[in-house]
Amino acid sequence: MPFRLLVPLGLLCSLPPPHLGAPGPDGSAPDPAHYRERVKAMFYHAYDSYLENAFPYDELRPLTCDGHDTWGSFSLTLIDALDTLLILGNVSEFQRVVEVLQDNLDFDIDVNASVFETNIRVVGGLLSAHLLSKKAGVEVEAGWPCSGPLLRMAEEAARKLLPAFQTPTGMPYGTVNLLHGVNPGETPVTCTAGIGTFIVEFATLSSLTGDPVFEDVARVALMRLWESRSDIGLVGNHIDVLTGKWVAQDAGIGAGVDSYFEYLVKGAILLQDKKLMAMFLEYNKAIRNYTRFDDWYLWVQMYKGTVSMPVFQSLEAYWPGLQSLIGDIDNAMRTFLNYYTVWKQFGGLPEFYNIPQGYTVEKREGYPLRPDQRSARPQA
C-alpha cells in the first residue's frame, strides 16, 4: 500500500540536528541505531506537533501552526500515523488512537471527498494498521484478521466510494459525496491514477470481508484502462469515465498516471496475478520505446509517441523503486542516478525539471515534501 510518511510536518519549528548518526571524520559507517533514533525523532516531532496544534483537523499547516481539513474531515493524520506507531513499537498510543477514531470517525457526512485519496490514505491506512496490529502485540478480536474495529472502519469508508464506480465504463468518478453519492454536476473527467489505484486496498478488503464487490470494481476499472490504451501501447493522463474518450493525451510515468503502474505491479505481487504483471510489462515496453531518452522518461503524445513535455516531475521518483521490484536493477540504478543529480543540484526535487535546459520550470520550482519525492519511494 502507498507509503505514508509524516516527516513533511516536521517543518514546524526545528528538527533534530541533521548530523545525528552521520559518518565520522574517518568515514566509518555509523551504527544503524543512530538512524533509527533520527527517524523516530522526526516522526514524533511531526506527530506531537499535529496533536498539539491541528487535531482534530485532517492536517497541520506548519507555518501558521493550526489545522485544516483537506480530504474529508477524517482527522486524517491520525489514520496516516497508525501503522507507523506500531512499527515504532508504540502500542499504547496506537490503542489510544484507535479508541479516538472509534468514538469520532464518521463517514455519514455531507462532504465531497477524493475517491483516490480516501482509498489510499483512509482505507489503506486503516487496513495497514489492522493487519499489523496482532504482530505488534495488540489484543485482537476473535476471528481476526477477518474482524476488528479498524477493518470495519475501512469497509465503511470503502462502501462510501462504491457509487463512484457506477459509470457506463466502470471507471470511477474522481469525487464522491460521502452522504449523497456522486453529485449530479460532477465532472466525468478523471486522471489515470485515479482510476487504476484501487486493486491493492480493495482486493485486500474483499479477502478479509468475504464481499467480492470491492475487488470486482477495482478489476473492472483496471481492465477498462487497459482496453483504452493507444495502438502504440500508451495511456494518457485524463479520461472521460462516461464515454471512455481520452481528454488529456500526454503519456508518461508521472503525475496523473504514476500509481496506476505501481498498483499493477504491487497488485500482481499481492495477488500472485500473472495477468496484472503481464499488463505492466507490456506498458513497460511501450514506455521504454517511446518515452525513454538517456535514462530520462519524458512525456509524449499517446498516439504518436512525439515528445510533448521534455520534463522530469518529482512525482516520478517512485519509478526506480518499481523497476527494482520487477528485478530491473540496472535500469533502476540508471534512473536513480539521473534523479539524484537533480536532488544534488537543488537539495530537493522541484515539481518540474526541464531536462534539456537542466533547470526548473518557471512557477513549478516548489518542493512540497511529498513522500514520493524522497527519491525512490519505499515499496510496501
Q: Above 50 in pLDDT, residue 234?
A: yes
pLDDT for 360 equals: 94
3-state SS assignment for residue 89? coil
Q: For residue 136, what pLDDT is reported?
A: 86
Express each pLDDT in 124-172 by its tens digit: 999 999 999 998 888 999 999 999 999 999 999 999 999 999 999 999 9
pLDDT at position 252 is 98
Are the C-beta atoms of 106 and 144 separated by less than 8 Å? no
* DSSP SS3 for 250: strand
Place 26 in a pLDDT band, splitting at 50, 70 and 90. Answer: low
Residue whose C-alpha cell is 477493518 = 151
Amino acid in position 18: P
The mean per-residue pLDDT over the stretch 231-243 comes to: 98
Considering only 9-23, 92-106, 300-314, 355-369, which range has the smallest mean pLDDT? 9-23
* Confidence at residue 290, expressed as pLDDT on a 0 to 100 scale: 98
Place 366 in a pLDDT band, splitting at 50, 70 and 90.
Answer: confident
Which one has a higher pLDDT value, 370 or 366? 366
Q: How far is CA 202 from the centre of its chain?
A: 14
Those residues whose C-beta lies under 8 Å from the C-beta of residue 77, and which sit 6 or more positions away, are 6, 9, 47, 50, 54, 55, 58, 59, 60
The C-alpha cell that represents 357 in the structure block: 535546459
The answer to whether 185 and 125 are in contact (CB under 8 A) is no
* pLDDT per residue as tens digits for the range 37-63: 999 999 999 999 999 999 999 999 989
Q: Would you kindly state where each structural domain of the chain is located, as residue ranges?
A: 36-105
Catalytic residue among 186, 351, 362, 365: 351
| DSSP at 232 | T
Look at strands 246-248 and 250-251 and give their pairing. Answer: unpaired
359's grid cell? 533547470
What is the pLDDT, as a whole number, of residue 364?
Answer: 86
- Residue 27 is predicted with a pLDDT of 64
> Average pLDDT in the 218-226 region?
98
Q: What are the start-end ranges of the H helices in the chain?
A: 32-53, 76-87, 91-104, 115-117, 124-133, 149-161, 193-196, 199-209, 213-227, 258-271, 274-290, 319-325, 329-346
Give 261-306 pLDDT, tens digit per residue.
999 999 999 999 999 999 999 999 999 999 999 999 999 999 999 9
Indicate if 262 belongs to the active site: no
Does the pLDDT value for residue 9 go beyond 80?
A: no
Q: What is the DSSP letter of 315?
A: G
pLDDT of res. 373: 45
For residues 273 and 267, what is the distance between their CA atoms, to the nearest angstrom?
7
Which range among 117-126, 346-355, 361-370 shows the weakest confidence by mean pLDDT? 361-370
Band of pLDDT at residue 6, cut at 50, 70 and 90: very low
Residue with the three cell numbers 474483499: 206
**Rounded to the nearest 10 degrees, how much is the dihedral formed by the CA atoms of 308, 312, 318, 323?**
70
Average pLDDT, whole number, for the chain? 90
d(CA 131, CA 120): 15
- For residue 337, the SS3 value is helix
Grid cell locating 172: 470511477
Rounded-to-integer distance, Cα 44 and Cα 374, Å? 19
pLDDT number for residue 31? 83
**pLDDT recorded at residue 225:** 98
Share of the chain above pLDDT 90, in %: 82
Report how far residue 105's alpha carbon sits from residue 201's, in angstroms, rounded to the nearest whole number: 19
pLDDT in the model for residue 2: 43
Measured between alpha carbons, how far is 218 from 205 in angstroms, rounded to an integer?
A: 11
Total residues found in the chain within this entry: 380
In one-letter notation, the amino acid at residue 374 is: R
* Contact between residue 66 and residue 29 where contact means Cβ atoms under 8 Å apart: no
Nearest to 322 by CA among 262, 273, 254, 241: 262
